[in-house]
Amino acid sequence: MAMFRLQGSKVLAVEMTGDAVKAKNGSMVAYDGQMAFKKLSGGGEGIRGMVTRRITGEQMTVMEVRGQGTCWFADRASEINLVGLQGDKLYVESSNLLATDGGLRTGTTFTGLRGASQGNGLFTTTVEGHGQAAITSDGPAVVLRVSPQYPLSVDPGAYIAHQGNLRQSFQSGVTFRTLMGEGGGEAFQIRFEGDGLVYVQPSERNTIAGDV
């Protein structure tokens, strides 16, 4: 199994002994040893993958790196966070997924309509199995725990990923910005109930307005 470690907070080093990793295309900054590269299609396979890319505007392509040695990955100086999976499933915005162990399964799941003003995020990328995944954030990510007694509401621009036994729903009509009189933002929040973890970033991504 490939070994993931951080060098600083913005570079991921992956040590491989004949195994493989999948990573965002164009994210590799250096490698040593003997490596082979293969381009994979992102966003799922077949018709569903085409629908995913059309709805989310997703042009993400993924590459597989296999070999002996070390590869270094980075993505626009974003902070990198390592998530260990023990047979569970991680839900992550596709733009925030940097790399996964070759043995982890990736796919897409429909998470519901997020309001007419939002063009991205109708589908979320899933990662499941045993191994490590690296996710990026704009600034240091914060991991928030959700418990049955304490549901959590998150601004969609700050949401990165979640894992655990969580139910996800969308509350429309109010956001943190409209509440504070700033307006012009998305008219909904993402609400999580159950037991699990939610990853948020301190800087909001630009959300896409317009037709879906």
- Split at pLDDT 50, 70, 90, the class of 50 is very low
- Split at pLDDT 50, 70, 90, the class of 208 is very low
Asked if 181 and 174 count as a contact pair (C-beta separation under 8 A), the reply is no
Burial of 105-126, coded b for 16+ CB within 10 Å and e otherwise, reads ebbbeebeebeeebbbbbbbbb
> Which pLDDT tens digit goes with each residue over 148-195?
999 999 988 899 999 999 998 887 766 566 565 555 555 678 899 999
More confident residue, 180 or 4: 4
More confident residue, 40 or 30: 30
Q: Given a cut of 60, is residue 106 above it in pLDDT?
A: yes
